Amino acid sequence: MSVLAYVDGIGVLGPGLAGWPDAAACLTGTTPYAPAATILPTPHLLPPAERRRTGRVVKLALSVALETVAHADLNPAGIASVFSSSGGDGLNCHEICTALAEPAREISPTRFSNSVHNAAAGYWSIATGAMAPSNVLCAFDASFAAGLLEALAQVAADRRSVLMIAYDTEYPAPLHAKRPIPDAFAIGLLLSPTRSRVTLASVAAAFTDAPAETLQEPALERLRAAIPAARGLPLLRRLALGEAGSTVLDYLGETRVRVQIESCR
């Protein structure tokens, strides 16, 4: 049993990877991968008041969401979305826990409002006017495949296009020592139930117990292993190659996800 969808857009942002064309070139070996700190753009999409209140996790998710929908030339207001993150806003969480350990226990109302795991999805909806359903998941190290499966199930069951964003940012010390995510990284996929003129490929996912595919380039493999959202990089490499093939993604222990890719270009 597998679930199928058509890939109508791709977005990537991470350490040394500034967008999908850049990442595709690194993943296919056309240009060498040079790790460097992730550069997060200002989310001009948001009204100034909201822009001031948002942290790295929102900047990351919104930037990748915009790149992902741009290829399809669709109005994002009508697209359902799935946001999947292994941890949410690490700095915001640290600030709240720090304040709660002080005698006064005064936490900022803005920090508390932004502490919800679905903050990025909420700001995406505010920024784009999207009133379509949005679901927000966490599956710890399995968060990329969990988001992909949720999005594919939505495409299959509801027959509508779904924007899937998997994204992670780092925790500061002292939580960093317990959860050592090194930097911000996100992947976006726009998935649709039917093939169109913008379709890049089809993907069909099913469960498997076969081992996960790793990346041969050592620095990219370190990235894949270090950040849960980057567990999707083997899928992006296959999409960048633009040919038929399959890959196995990490998920929950022995339960993994095989993705069959067919090019539509």
Tell me the closest approach of the beta carbon of residue 198 to another protein, in angstroms: 23
Query: Using the rule CB under 8 A, is 98 a contact of another protein?
Result: yes
- How many Å separate Cα 3 from the centre of its chain? 19
Tell me the closest approach of the beta carbon of residue 107 to another protein, in angstroms: 5
H or E segment to which residue 80 belongs: strand 80-84
| The one among 25, 45, 70, 116 contacting another protein by CB under 8 A | 116
| The one among 30, 48, 109, 216 contacting another protein by CB under 8 A | 109
Which residues lie below 8 Å from residue 75, measured CB to CB, with a gap of 6+? none
H or E segment to which residue 214 belongs: none
| Separation between Cα atoms, residue 191 and residue 183, nearest integer Å | 26
Which of 104, 109, 60, 52 lies closest to 86 in space, CA to CA?
Answer: 60
First and final C-alpha spacing in the chain: 26
Residue window 121-160: x/- pattern of binding to another protein, with contact defined by CB under 8 A:
xxx-xx-xxxxxxxxxxxxx-xx--x--xx-xxx-xxx--
Residues at the interface with another protein (CB under 8 A):
1, 3, 50, 53, 77, 84, 86-88, 93, 96-98, 100-101, 105-109, 112-119, 121-123, 125-126, 128-140, 142-143, 146, 149-150, 152-154, 156-158, 173-175, 177-179, 207, 251-252, 254-255
